[in-house]
Amino acid sequence: MITVRIPTPLRTVTGGQSEVQVEGSTVSEMIEKLAEVHPGIKERLYDERGEVRRFINIYVNEEDIRFLTGKDTPLKDGDEVSIVPAIAGGG
């Protein structure tokens, strides 16, 4: 099982859960499985070309998948995935 940390703005599609457990041998497979249980999450993470949106970062065990093999980054049991969007506010 993979533990996925869900950022606050995405918790609307995970029923408020901040962490979800899901299967998957790669990041893209994990996202597919996640979308089966939590419809809508894929559209929030991917752009119209099916790539991870540029302002969203996905980390596997604290490594940015862009420095690994992107969506094809392999996952193994016990891995932790964090989805990290940018936050703008401050005023």
5 binds another protein per the rule CB under 8 A: yes
Q: Taking CB under 8 A as the rule, does residue 50 contact another protein?
A: no
DSSP strand E in 1-91: where? 2-5, 19-22, 56-60, 63-64, 80-85
Q: Which stretch binds another protein (CB under 8 A): 24-32, 68-76, 77-85?
A: 77-85
Nearest CA-CA partner of 80 in 35, 18, 38, 36: 18
- Residue 20-49 contact track with another protein, rule CB under 8 A, x = bound: ------------------------x-----
